[in-house]
Structure 1
Amino acid sequence: MDTYGLIGFPLKHSFSAGFFTEKFRKEGIEAEYLNFEIEDILEIRRVILFNQHLKGLNVTIPYKEKVIPFLNNISDEAEKIGAVNVIKVLRKPGDMYFYELTGYNTDYIGFRDSLLPLLKPGIDHKALILGTGGASKAVSQVLTDIDIEWSYVSRSSKNKAIKGRVMSYNDLSQEVMSTYNIIVNASPVGTFPDINSCPDIPYNYLTTGHILYDLVYNPEETLFLKKGKEIGASIKNGQEMLELQALAAWEIWNS
């Protein structure tokens, strides 16, 4: 039986396991999907060696960037983004110790294809990206490619490790909030069970012209989205993005 799985830590809220298990059941696919909760990226070697039927992995927090040195190959889009969320595993028949790992980024596809329907023609869109982890890199690349000006928002605007413009949360004045009409939460803040938390932005400056997009999908409506909804902003969670990126991952694993 073919095996697929997810590496990350912690894995209290895995969308992928439920999605693929249901897909396998509905389509009569003889396969299993397992969660591999690893406390150190070095454990990826153990996961691959001890699961000889493993054909593919999803990668989540905090390993989307840390996994790159363990890959044999990386796709052009993943290299450009600097983060990987899908790994294809190729093995040499008869040699349990030989494997080849190729990294891809399907977060890009999921975010792009779920964001585009929200954009209104004729409006000058600008975006703030809350958080600077692996998922934020796919978000910023999509925005760049569709010609939307963007800025990261970090706890420190002096974070030299981040490429591109960076603001701190203290920089989010009324003028800034009125200029940037798309707010993307690319951080895990607000994820179950921490449902009473939300990114520290000035919600009182939001308007009905804002779009709030939360990569978090559990809960379905985070406090971040609730606050935007109360003001009349357009809101979207990360469910569709996850489904789109998962389907793209399936195509990669089976190509």
Structure 2
Amino acid sequence: MVNYTDGNTRTCGLLANPARHTLSPFIHNNLAQMFGINMVYVPFEVPSGSIQDAVKGAKALNILGLNVTIPYKNEVIPYLDDIDPLAKGIGAVNTIVRMKNGGFKGYNTDMTGLYRFLQEEGVDFQGKTVVILGAGGVARPAAFLCGTKGAEKVFLLNRTYDKAESVADEVNKAIFEYGNDEKLTADGIPANGEDSEYPQIVIPMRLEDYKDLYKEDKFIVLQCTSVGLFPDVNSAVIEDSEFYKHVSVAMDMIYRPIETKFMKLVKEAGATAYSGLKMLLYQGIDAFELWNNEEGDEKIKVSREQADEVYRLLELEIIGARNIILEGFMGSGKSTVAEELAALLDMELLDTDKAIEEAEERTIKEIFEQDGEASFRDMETELIESVVAEHYRDMVVSLGGGLPLREKNGELLKAAGKIVYLRTKAQTVYNRLKGDTTRPLLKSDDPLKRINDLLGERSEKYESIADIIIDTDELTPAEIAREIINRLGVSFI
């Protein structure tokens, strides 16, 4: 997707190092398009030691707002004009917003986004026990969030107990200061002389002692380690099935893969598990609203339905299915299934045969008769080349039966998205197409034999480039579409 830009376009972006693999432009440019906002979002890769220059330059260039990620979430703070109390308590900024006076104010939408999503799902920390796995960079703000949103106890589990203890102490102090900020002196001591000892909401624990948690009955779990991150997809921090029987709801901060082993274990125990992709999306939504609303004004508010739409597109992007491409022999149901998929996923539809007919203002039968098959195959290749070259996204593509046979086309299709082979038996094809005189390749005294011969020639090629193979003979188009969605692991309800 490319946003239209002109002299009135406002710019937002990301300060990171590296910045090339970010999904943030995808989130924000889709949101801008949804709301008709003349805004474009781009990544800025900031060299080490240059974050002050980057902030100064952003001010001079009238940048509307910025996200900040590793390694600059802490480093950027001294160069901001103001900081939100929550971001101050967390000790990290991931969103910078231009104020009316031209200065920049720092926020942490990682945590507000996470909280907003969980609230929408009916998950509340108030009076609950929360278990956080890990004590790294994500665990600290997560513990702070839980503590400031009413969690009764937050257990911080880590392989190295000293690290868990240090982080727990930092967070307990930060929670106390955040709740009592108006009573504190510059030294962080209560001005009224009260005892400065702060409540121990966050409790450190050795990871191997996780069974001690069973006395808590049910708890919320936030998985904040890198265990299970691609390519280590078959691992979880805790693999004991008994642990998961005590989980009420869980979120894995990892989103590659979308469903981690941790999430699978949670679901197998009957609890609800969410991907970190939700946190990524909602931190972006909170940032987008901050940039496009004046403080205290909420003219721009992303609805749950709009968030779900962007989330589906994010899922497709993560799994490499920026487009879903259907291949198969004639009569396999590609066109009908493509229509079902496009409707379920709210995606655009491209039927290559129809697109060529519209461009040529001739039927395929006429193209075959007038120019020959080779000319038609060249047209197919040119069409797929344009899909790749123009970075078309969010489409369900129904291919002509012979299009994948060219080696070059197979390479192009792999670059364009996920390929689904709708495998169909010859007899089924014959039953569906008998009497159809519009198929040039079926002009034969024995159409069934012709179908068998062609399938024999093509099946191996179809299978060699397919990411997913679905046998369609006993399924309706609607059932095939839902099976594709299930196999891709994409949300559609």
Q: Same fold (TM over 0.5)?
A: yes
Change (3 A) 1:118 1:221: farther
CA contact (8 A) 2:96 2:107 kept: yes
1:114 aligns with 2:117: yes
Q: Which residue of 2 aligns with 1:245?
A: 283
**TM-score under structure 1 length normalisation:** 0.80
| Cα-Cα RMSD | 3.0
1:20 Cα deviation after fit:
0.6
1:146 aligns with 2:149: yes
| Structure 2 residue matching 1:206: 3-state secondary structure | helix
Q: Which residue of 2 aligns with 1:137?
A: 140
CA contact (8 A) 1:6 1:59 kept: yes
Q: Which residue of 1 aligns with 2:22?
A: 14
Structure 1: which 5+ runs fail to align? 93-98
CA contact (8 A) 1:127 1:181 kept: yes
Q: Which residue of 2 aligns with 1:96?
A: none
1:203 aligns with 2:207: no
Change (3 A) 1:185 1:203: same
CA distance in 2, matches of 1:20, 1:125: 33
| Structure 2 residue matching 1:115: 3-state secondary structure | helix
Change (3 A) 1:12 1:156: farther
Q: Which has the higher helix share?
A: 2
Q: 1:14-53 residue pairs with structure 2 within 5 A?
A: 14-38=22-46, 40=48, 42-49=49-56, 52-53=61-62
CA contact (8 A) 2:113 2:283 kept: yes
Change (3 A) 1:113 1:48: closer
Q: 1:1-255 residue pairs with structure 2 within 5 A?
A: 1-11=9-19, 13-38=21-46, 40=48, 42-49=49-56, 52-89=61-98, 100-116=103-119, 117-119=121-123, 125-148=128-151, 149-159=153-163, 161-162=166-167, 163=170, 164-172=202-210, 174-177=211-214, 179=216, 181-191=219-229, 193-196=230-233, 198-210=235-247, 211-254=249-292, 255=294
1:86 Cα deviation after fit:
0.7
CA distance in 2, matches of 1:22, 1:252: 16
Paired-residue identity, %: 29
CA contact (8 A) 1:203 1:228 kept: no
CA distance in 2, matches of 1:228, 1:80: 31
1:199 Cα deviation after fit:
4.4
CA contact (8 A) 2:96 2:106 kept: yes
Change (3 A) 1:186 1:62: farther
CA distance in 1, matches of 2:138, 2:226: 10
1:89 Cα deviation after fit:
3.9
Answer with 76-85 or 48-57: which moved more.
48-57
1:19 Cα deviation after fit:
0.5
Change (3 A) 1:127 1:6: same
CA distance in 2, matches of 1:120, 1:91: 34
| Structure 2 residue matching 1:58: 3-state secondary structure | strand
1:69 Cα deviation after fit:
2.7
Change (3 A) 1:230 1:147: same
Q: Which amino acid aligns with 1:54?
A: I
**TM-score under structure 2 length normalisation:** 0.44
1:91 Cα deviation after fit:
9.4
Q: How many residues align?
A: 245
Answer with 5-14 or 53-62: which moved more.
5-14
CA distance in 1, matches of 2:124, 2:51: 43
Answer with 44-53 or 21-30: which moved more.
44-53
Per-residue Cα deviation, 1:197-253 (whole angstroms, up to 9, x for no partner): 644224323234412211223322122212222333321112333333222212322
Per-residue Cα deviation, 1:88-143 (whole angstroms, up to 9, x for no partner): 24698xxxxxx73321112222222222435489x973112123344333322332
Change (3 A) 1:48 1:145: closer
Structure showing greater Rg = 2
Change (3 A) 1:69 1:153: farther
| Structure 2 residue matching 1:165: 3-state secondary structure | strand
Q: Which amino acid aligns with 1:194?
A: P
Per-residue Cα deviation, 1:163-207 (whole angstroms, up to 9, x for no partner): 2432232232x232563622201234434x435264422432323
| Structure 1 residue matching 2:212: 3-state secondary structure | helix
CA distance in 1, matches of 2:135, 2:47: 21
Q: Which has the higher contact order (CA 8 A, sep 6+)?
A: 1
Q: Which amino acid aligns with 2:23?
A: F
Per-residue Cα deviation, 1:53-89 (whole angstroms, up to 9, x for no partner): 4221112234323332332321111112222111124
| Structure 1 residue matching 2:147: 3-state secondary structure | helix
